[in-house]
Chain A
Amino acid sequence: MKTFSFMRISLWVYLAIFFAYLLGPLVIMSATAFNSPSFPRMTPWECLTFEWFSALFQDERILNGIWNSILVGAGTVVLSVAMGLAGALMLTQIWPKLRATYYTIIIAPILIPGVVIGISTLVFWDRINRMLGLGADSWLSNGLFLTIIGQSTFIASYCMLVLVARLQRYDIALTEAALDLGATHAQAFRKVLLPFMRPAIASAAVLAFLASFENYNTTTFTFGEYPTLTIELAQKVRYGITPAISALAFIIVVLTVFAALANEAGLRRRELVAAARKKATVEELESGKLRLPGFLSSNVAAVALVVVACATVAVVGTATVYSPQQCIADVQEQKRLETEERIQELRRQRELRRQQQLEQQGEAAPAQSAPSTGTGNNSGFGGVFAPGTLSGDEEEGEEAEQEPQGNGSGFGNVFDPGALSNDGEDSGSGN
């Protein structure tokens, strides 16, 4: 019994570690999108802010990258699904002895490194372009065209794998039945085979879009005038990143989770409806009184979907009302106070050191100490030994260095910590 429970515990621990490893980076990155420091970090937590989202939506290059990614994705989806479907159909109809060879050839692009595909796409189409005697601005050397073509070479193979799996479950007798009932080959394809393939085509399209959206190493050679999002991000990271990128990541994560949950909930619902229809009698079906199961009953995905939707609404609602300015100002103020304290501490230490020095010097030559206290001192000779004046002088220099935004207060207030903090608050509320 004991070993058994130990096994169970270690299993749970393993699962926890595994999920932490999988999801931890995403959670932390998402959290950084809501923290106010200008470098993405989670600790110390300063202020809840949504400014990185607005920063994101004001970044021309990111927006342009997203738009290019969508364009490339759409083109890749169309091209890859079409090529994948053709490849899958070919695989089921080709002479059986050739099938293994054909399969290997058509799968090969998945195994070839994306970098190689990128370079070869660039070189190949440049050749073609020159052979046709076209200039450097022809559509054959257009970044959009090259990126779509380059990505499709291997994404089409993924699509084919998805489509072949479905096609293997297709009964060729269905096409024969359609032909026998008078349909042409085109009609049989459109009315029988295509509807059967629709779920797989949808999966292949989603897969193709995601693969295209996240692709970097092929695109980096072919993008030309059309930098995609991944290219833009990579270029941005070179100059340091801001939490605006975390904000983008958060949006993508939320959209993905939302879409996955919606899909799952839809599937469950359809299963439940099908089960209910099977159990329903003819009369129930006819009278239209078929009782559909409650949307949420025994449907975990639907529940999760509702939770996520509510959370999204709550976050967006908070974002429109919530203003982090006060908090940011408080944090800044607090930071300055901390700095202040550190300065005070420093000052006290230096003063202590200086006093000791002076004591030593004073014993040696007390008269000489006066010039060394600085010309800026207006307190007269007698004030030489006053600690306030000495440290005040030094503090002014330090403050100028550490807090360049500083304050507009007069020199006289410098020595008064209370005045300082009042001043800071004034300037904060003034913003």
Chain B
Amino acid sequence: MSAGVGVDLENLWIRFGDFVAVRDANVNINGGDFFSFLGPSGCGKTTILRAVSGFLEPSDGRVLIGGNNMKGIGPNKRPTALIFQNLALFPLMKVWENITFSMEIKGASARERRKRADELLDMIALPGQGDKLPSELSGGQRQRVAIARALCAEPDVLLLDEPLSALDLKLRQHMRTELREIQQRVGITFIYITHDQGEALTMSDNIAVMKAGVIDQIGDGKTIYNDPATAFAASFVGENNVFRGKVKRVMGDEALIATNRSGDLVARISTANQGRMKEGDEAMMFIRPEAFALAPQGAAGDHFVTAKVNHEEFEGNAFNIFMEGDGGKELKVSIPNLGQSFDDHTGQNITLEYETKNAVCVPAGELAAE
């Protein structure tokens, strides 16, 4: 498959009256990528999608598709197809008519349309269901019909607006894999909007993390997860434990943080912030629950944390320990269940250790809401 058509956002601003929905977004999406915008609801990600599909004109800046400025080009003239959050299947048309709507308006004959619909129905694993009405299908089937309808228009860029949010968990996980497979088969650019970090991480080549109209970080899933650029990115993507404090000393790409509760701890400075953190700065340090290990009682040093256990739970694949943490939030530790014996620690103080590479520090900032 060829590289496909890329999408570029240049200094994109979108305002509704006084409200700024998107603030100075700069994104390069490579052709053929599965690109996700990840952020909490109301962060402006759907607004960006509507600007790309042509339902919204940017207040400032440009949208380029395949290098062409899309200013003044309506949604029906752009090489994009949008899959709506509620799917927006035409309720009065049969499945095959829905799928081939884009051919009908170009004046294709019913026989051609039938043929193409059958091909696409085979592709989405719904053979022979063309004569049903959308209301007669299940949620996952409707989802696939919406994808087929969008693909039938042969877009260069497929835009998906939280298409899985209405499905139940099992189906959602199944559709993730399926979407990714379809994307790899057709080889066109997918731009995917979601607030579910699991979806973004599993499917995307690249992810943009958004907060209140601002893009915090762009990178692939591993970078976003392991090397967050901001406190928001660190706390929004996956579970994380936060330690607040001040930078005590910078040692190359590592820093010693004087935390409020747990003494001096050492952490790696995230790539985006290297050289930008200096002594005395307010800082936040993040360690994932699974990055801790139990340490011998009383061990002390710059990679040991001691705290009192509030409660514990057994999750099957892991033991979760909830300890007194920083800033009112509990410190969560997950010890993988490898068959070891596990004593109840409730009410005791225990000591944990971590490897420096698994602790990352960024300048203090706003955390994602729980």
Contacts and interface: CB of A to CB of B under 8 A. Distances in A.
Instruction: Answer whether A and B are interacting partners.
Output: yes
Contact of A182 (B55, B88, B90, B153): B153
A182 B82 contact: no
A94 to B, nearest CB: 18
A61 interface: no
Contacts of B169: none
B275 interface: no
A127 interface: no
Contact of B131 (A176, A179, A195, A285): A285
Contact of B75 (A180, A195, A278): A180
A180 B86 contact: no
Interface string B280-323: 00000000000000000000000000000000000000000000
Contact of B81 (A181, A195, A285): A181
A174 interface: yes
A182 B84 contact: no
B105 interface: yes
A364 B136 CA distance: 111
Interface string B38-76: 000000000000000111000000000000000000111
B99 to A, nearest CB: 10
Contact of B128 (A178, A184, A277, A282): A282
A195 to B, nearest CB: 5
Contacts of B76: 179-184
B185 interface: no
Given A174-B88, A192-B90, A180 B53 contact: yes
B102 interface: yes
B144 interface: no
A278 B92 CA distance: 15
Given A196-B91, A277-B136, A181 B105 contact: yes
B354 interface: no
A186 B95 CA distance: 23
Interface of A is mostly: helix
Given A176-B75, A179-B74, A180-B80, A195 B105 contact: no
Interface in B85-123: 86, 88-92, 101-102, 104-106
A183 B105 contact: yes
Interface of B is mostly: loop
Interface residues of B, number: 30
Given A196-B92, A282-B129, A182 B53 contact: no
A60 interface: no
Contacts of B75: 176, 179-180
A286 interface: yes
A173 B86 contact: yes
Could you say which interface size class chain A belongs to?
Answer: 20 to 34
Given A176-B55, A180-B53, A183-B76, A191 B88 contact: no
A297 to B, nearest CB: 22
B157 to A, nearest CB: 11
Contacts, number: 67
A187 interface: yes
Contacts of A277: 136
A173 B84 contact: yes
Contacts of B84: 173, 176-177
Nearest to A172: B88
B127 to A, nearest CB: 10
A183 B53 CA distance: 14
A180 B82 contact: yes
Contact of B105 (A171, A187, A285, A286): A187
A180 B136 CA distance: 24
Most buried by B among A181, A192, A195: A181
B222 interface: no
A224 B77 CA distance: 53
Interface in A376-420: none
Contact of B88 (A171, A183, A196, A282): A171
Interface string A144-185: 000000000000000000000000000101101111111110
B149 interface: yes
B118 to A, nearest CB: 13
Contacts of A191: 101, 104-105
Most buried by A among B77, B80, B105, B129: B105
Contacts of A192: 90
B345 interface: no
A174 B105 contact: no
B132 interface: yes
Most buried by B among A179, A182, A278: A182
B81 to A, nearest CB: 6
Nearest to A286: B128
A175 to B, nearest CB: 9
Given A184-B76, A191-B104, A177 B53 contact: no
A182 B106 contact: yes
Nearest to B149: A181
A195 B128 CA distance: 25
A173 B149 contact: no
A181 B88 CA distance: 12
Contacts of B89: 177
Interface in A274-305: 277-278, 282, 285-286
B129 A181 contact: no
A11 B82 CA distance: 58
Contact of B90 (A177, A187, A278, A286): A177
A181 B153 contact: yes
Contacts of B91: 174, 196
Nearest to B153: A181
Interface string A349-373: 0000000000000000000000000
A183 B132 CA distance: 23
18 contacts: A171-B88, A173-B84, A174-B90, A176-B88, A179-B55, A179-B76, A180-B80, A180-B81, A181-B76, A181-B102, A181-B153, A182-B106, A182-B153, A183-B105, A196-B91, A196-B92, A282-B129, A285-B132
Interface of B: 53-55, 74-77, 80-82, 84, 86, 88-92, 101-102, 104-106, 128-129, 131-132, 136, 149-150, 153
Given A174-B91, A182-B76, A183-B105, 17 more contacts: A171-B86, A173-B84, A173-B86, A176-B75, A177-B90, A179-B55, A180-B53, A180-B54, A180-B75, A181-B102, A181-B105, A181-B150, A181-B153, A182-B102, A182-B105, A195-B92, A282-B128
8 A-B pairs closest in CB distance: A173-B88, A177-B88, A181-B102, A183-B105, A180-B82, A179-B75, A179-B76, A173-B84
